[in-house]
């Protein structure tokens, strides 16, 4: 046992040091190195935050590094916020960064809102920032629009249309173009409808107002009637914007759609009448053909009845009901009737002819 203790013992500066003391000394050296590394890595950031009035602890800096959060970005934005009078913690900024948000835009938006006297809390700013992610817009733009209203063209020129076309009651087309002044409603920005909804609602209101006018002259005489009517409909409800004004930038007169429609209706009515007349003509032709067939049928029946006369006469001869003299008297009557018919026919033809020399 004494030999083992002598092996673990060392002599430093003429003094004998045990192995446990060596181990403790090594641990202290390692801790010192770690502290030196931390000081080297975080000292500049820490001292910058200290002198800026946004004090931050080394434990918070270490926690940021362990969570793979850029320390300099978080500390610099907190310094900006604190110098602007905002109470934002390191944990708040790092949490929003890990959620995929842009802490620079959030801090700048909070500063802009504070300078403009707009009530905007950190959580609301973070929600707006995450809602605008991937849309090409930022929370800072939303705050700026709330401070400085923006103008929206109705209809949107990018849609390919330059005017909103509507028809008055007299059938005249009115082409209108409006400019809508809006500002962001931060309380309804998350979940509220976008600019496209504003444009669609304003367009619908313009069409409805023009359509209710008795004449296109009323619209041309009072174009402000359109903006007043549209504003009274509260078109900005459930949207991310508040409509401040609707100005009619241009009003033009288009074609007479009413007359065109009436002409097309008259042409359609004419075609319908022609079709109905053709149906009646076809029905008359069919009836005529049917009557002709019935006449031929009657004639056939007469011929058939006449063919029965000789048979009846022969039957009467055989039965003794008809004598020879009766037959001759009947023939004389027939001949006399035929002669009179011929005389009557020739007389009527001579009466219808013009006398010679007339």
Encode pLDDT of 69-84 as tens digits.
888 888 888 888 888 8
Cβ atoms within 10 Å, residue 192 = 18
Q: pLDDT at residue 192 above 50?
A: yes
pLDDT at position 234: 81
Average pLDDT over residues 133-154: 86
- Which residues partner with 105 through β-bridges? none
Quickly state the pLDDT bin for 34 (edges 50, 70, 90): low
Rounded-to-integer distance, Cα 71 and Cα 94, Å: 9
Q: Which residues contact 101 (CB under 8 A, 6 or more apart)?
A: 126, 129, 130, 133
Q: pLDDT at residue 45 above 70?
A: yes
SS3 169: coil
Quickly state the pLDDT bin for 126 (edges 50, 70, 90): very high
Quickly state the pLDDT bin for 37 (edges 50, 70, 90): low
DSSP structure class, residue 14: T
SS3 215: coil
CB 239 within 8 A of CB 192: yes
The dihedral sign for the CA sequence 104, 110, 112, 114: negative
Quickly state the pLDDT bin for 68 (edges 50, 70, 90): confident
Which residue spans within 2-61 are E strands per DSSP?
Answer: 10-12, 15-17
Q: pLDDT at residue 7 above 50?
A: no
Of all residues in the chain, the percent with pLDDT exceeding 70 is 85
- Fold annotation for 151-256: Tetrahydropterin Synthase; Chain A (3.30.479)
Average pLDDT over residues 269-292: 91
**Range of lowest pLDDT (2-11, 144-153, 342-351):** 2-11
**Position with higher pLDDT, 7 vs 39:** 39
pLDDT at position 106: 92
Average pLDDT over residues 177-186: 88
pLDDT at position 190: 79
CB 180 within 8 A of CB 202: yes
**Range of lowest pLDDT (2-11, 93-102, 113-122, 169-178):** 2-11
Rounded-to-integer distance, Cα 145 and Cα 160, Å: 25
Where is mean pLDDT largest: 153-157, 191-195, 223-227, 323-327? 153-157
Average pLDDT over residues 26-43: 65
Quickly state the pLDDT bin for 52 (edges 50, 70, 90): confident
Q: What is the pLDDT of residues 158-170, one digit of tens each?
A: 888 888 888 888 8
pLDDT at position 6: 45
């Amino acid at each position: 046992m004494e030999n083992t203790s002598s092996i673990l013992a060392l002599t430093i500066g003429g003094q004998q040091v045990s192995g446990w003391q060596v181990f403790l000394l090594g641990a202290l050296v390692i801790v010192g190195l770690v502290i030196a590394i931390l000081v080297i890595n975080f000292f500049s950031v820490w001292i910058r935050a200290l002198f800026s009035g946004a004090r931050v602890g080394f434990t918070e800096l270490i926690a940021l590094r362990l969570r793979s959060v850029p320390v300099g970005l978080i500390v610099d934005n907190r310094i900006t916020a604190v110098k602007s009078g905002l109470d934002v913690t390191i944990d708040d900024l790092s949490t929003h960064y890990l959620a995929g948000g842009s802490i620079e835009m959030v801090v700048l938006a909070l500063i802009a809102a504070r300078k403009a006297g707009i009530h905007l809390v950190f959580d609301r700013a973070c929600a707006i920032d995450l809602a605008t992610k991937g849309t090409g817009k930022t929370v800072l733009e939303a705050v700026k629009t709330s401070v400085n209203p923006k103008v929206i063209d109705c209809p949107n020129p990018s849609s390919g249309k330059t005017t909103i076309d509507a028809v008055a009651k007299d059938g005249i087309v009115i082409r209108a173009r409006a400019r809508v002044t809006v500002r962001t409603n931060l309380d309804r920005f998350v979940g509220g409808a976008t600019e496209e909804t504003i444009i669609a609602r304003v367009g619908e209101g313009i069409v409805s107002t023009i359509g209710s006018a008795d004449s296109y002259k009323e619209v041309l005489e009072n174009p402000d009637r359109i903006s007043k009517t549209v504003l009274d409909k509260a078109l900005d409800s459930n949207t991310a914007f508040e409509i401040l004004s609707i100005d009619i930038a241009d009003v033009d007169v288009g074609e007479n759609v009413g007359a065109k429609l009436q002409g097309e209706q008259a042409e359609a009515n004419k075609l319908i009448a022609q079709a109905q007349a053709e149906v009646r003509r076809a029905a008359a032709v069919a009836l005529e053909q049917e009557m002709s067939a019935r006449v031929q049928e009657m004639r056939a029946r007469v011929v058939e009845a006449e063919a029965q006369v000789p048979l009846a006469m022969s039957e009467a001869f055989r039965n003794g009901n008809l004598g020879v003299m009766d037959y001759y008297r009947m023939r004389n009557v027939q001949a006399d009737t035929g002669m009179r018919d011929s005389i009557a026919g020739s007389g009527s033809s001579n009466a219808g002819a013009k006398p010679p020399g007339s």
